[in-house]
């Protein structure tokens, strides 16, 4: 065959245009998509740092519970009861009695979606109030009734982490083991 110019090569009479068969390529792509879908983790996790619990933490006196920071003077404690929150600090506990609601917790439960639920918003408002007087304080102790679910503890930590305008409240959380005042 006589040598032709490159420009003439593909235009010879009777030559078929070459069709690339992409079917196997598509098969590979589909398999890749499936494997990526299977491998992706859809729930994204994060971690909350907490400090160690103290065994036998005192409730009213606060004597047995030591905050992670020894220099901390406030000793802020949030008590999660079965029916609401109490807030304690340096030996004194605020509850319903201190606001003429005898026998009730400081922040009682509210009804949300037809079910009683803890009032995290009110707790956060209280904590913001306390933060105003103790600007350098960052640690908080959480003490809860033995039956309180973990979900509530996490929500309390969420409420205590930042105020709605993004300022830090009491992000260093420690736990007092199971004693509620």
Partner 1 sequence: MSDTNESIGDGTKPFAGWAKAGAPAKRRKSVRGRRPLEHTTMISITSLTDMVTVLLVYLLKTFATSPIEIKDPSLELPRSICNPAPGSGAKEREGGPPPRDGCGEIQETTIVMVTGPKKGRTPRIAVNSDAILEMDAATYRIPEQFKDPASGGWVITPLRDSLKRAKEIKEISALRDGKPFDGKVVILADKDTPYRVLSEVLVTCGESGFADFRFAVIKPE
Residues that bind partner 1 in the complex, under the rule CB under 8 A: 16, 19, 21-23, 25-26, 29-30, 32-33, 36-37, 39-41, 43-53, 55-56, 80, 144-151, 153-155, 157-158, 161-162, 168, 171-173, 175, 177-178
Nearest 5°: the CA angle 58, 152, 119 is 95
CB-based burial of residue 105 (10 Å sphere; 0-12 exposed, 13-18 middle, 19+ buried)?
buried
Distance between first and last Cα of the chain: 102
Q: CA-to-CA distance for 79 and 89, rounded, in angstroms?
A: 11
Report in angstroms how near the CB of residue 173 gets to partner 1 at its nearest. Answer: 7
Nearer to partner 1, 48 or 110 (CB): 48
Nearer to partner 1, 6 or 15 (CB): 15
Report in angstroms how near the CB of residue 122 gets to partner 1 at its nearest. Answer: 17
Report in angstroms how near the CB of residue 67 gets to partner 1 at its nearest. Answer: 14
Nearer to partner 1, 51 or 130 (CB): 51
Nearer to partner 1, 8 or 16 (CB): 16
- 115-117 vs 172-176, strand pairing mode: unpaired
Q: CA-to-CA distance for 100 and 108, rounded, in angstroms?
A: 13
120-133 and 150-161 are packed helices; what angle lies between their axes, rounded to 10 degrees?
40
Report in angstroms how near the CB of residue 136 gets to partner 1 at its nearest. Answer: 13
Nearer to partner 1, 40 or 102 (CB): 40
Report in angstroms how near the CB of residue 145 gets to partner 1 at its nearest. Answer: 7
Q: To 10 degrees, the CA torsion angle through 104, 79, 87, 45?
A: -130
């Amino acid at each position: 065959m006589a040598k032709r110019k490159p420009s003439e090569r593909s235009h010879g009479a009777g030559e078929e245009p070459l069709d690339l068969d992409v079917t196997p390529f598509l098969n590979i792509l589909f398999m890749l998509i499936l494997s990526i879908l299977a491998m992706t983790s859809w729930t994204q996790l994060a971690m909350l740092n907490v400090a160690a619990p103290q065994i036998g933490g005192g409730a009213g006196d606060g004597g047995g519970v030591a905050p992670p920071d020894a220099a901390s003077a406030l000793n802020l404690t949030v008590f999660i009861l079965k029916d609401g929150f109490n807030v304690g600090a340096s030996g004194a506990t605020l509850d319903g009695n201190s606001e003429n609601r005898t026998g009730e917790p400081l922040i009682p439960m509210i009804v949300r979606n037809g079910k009683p639920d803890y009032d995290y918003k009110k707790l956060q408002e209280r904590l913001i109030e306390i933060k105003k007087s103790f600007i350098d304080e960052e640690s908080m102790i959480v003490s809860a009734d033995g039956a309180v679910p973990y979900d509530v503890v996490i929500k309390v930590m969420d409420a205590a982490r930042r105020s709605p305008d993004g300022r830090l409240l009491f992000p260093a959380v420690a736990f007092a083991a199971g004693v509620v005042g």
